[in-house]
Amino acid sequence: MVKSKILATLDKTNSTRRPVPAICFNDIKTHILGPKYFLSLVFIGDRRGQTLNKKYKNKNTPTNILSFTLSNDCGEVFINLARAKREAPKFDMTYRVYVAYLFIHGCFHLKGYAHGSTMENKEKKVLNSFVINEQKHRHRS
């Protein structure tokens, strides 16, 4: 029997020492961007977040997330785990839920959405479907 080679459509890299929360990144990516969209997901810290933010957004501060469209079916998302850890309580979220929210937010930017109520409503639906409801079901067992 010949095994077919399946091309990965989500490449994750953790360039920090901080552990990445268990989140169904590929399922979320597929739901928002489609199964053929190739996404590079990189977890970074404050220093790299500030460098990228200054270079590409002309803002000399660390950021929690950056997303870059590379082509119609390819993009990159950078999530600053250190900043996410600090910011999560401000949004009344756990670290895991906030990192998932940031990922969802970045994916919607790659999909072409701009900040506003339409994007926020879509983010909430995906967050509830893939993260919040999943977490509730785990606690019931």
Q: What is the DSSP string of 104-125?
A: HHHHHHHTT--SSHHHHHHHHH
Confidence of residue 110 (pLDDT cuts 50, 70, 90): very high
Confidence of residue 134 (pLDDT cuts 50, 70, 90): low
How many domains does the chain fold into?
1
Q: Examine residue 37 and state whether it is found in any structural domain, yes or no.
A: yes
Q: Do 49 and 63 meet the contact criterion of CB atoms below 8 Å apart?
A: yes
Q: Examine residue 27 and state whether it is found in any structural domain, yes or no.
A: yes
Q: Examine residue 91 and state whether it is found in any structural domain, yes or no.
A: yes
Mean pLDDT confidence for 122-135: 82
Residue-wise pLDDT for 24-71, tens only, equals: 999 999 999 999 999 999 999 999 989 999 999 999 988 999 999 999
Determine if residue 44 is left, alpha or beta; phi over 0 gives left, psi from -120 to 50 gives alpha, anything else beta: beta
Q: Do 6 and 36 meet the contact criterion of CB atoms below 8 Å apart?
A: no
Q: Examine residue 15 and state whether it is found in any structural domain, yes or no.
A: yes
Q: Examine residue 2 and state whether it is found in any structural domain, yes or no.
A: no
Residue 7 has pLDDT above 90, yes or no: no
- pTM to 2 decimal places: 0.85
DSSP state of 128: I
Distance (Å, rounded) from C-alpha 94 to C-alpha 19?
14
Range of the domain at 30: 10-140
Q: Examine residue 1 and state whether it is found in any structural domain, yes or no.
A: no
* CATH number of the CATH domain containing 133: 3.40.390.30
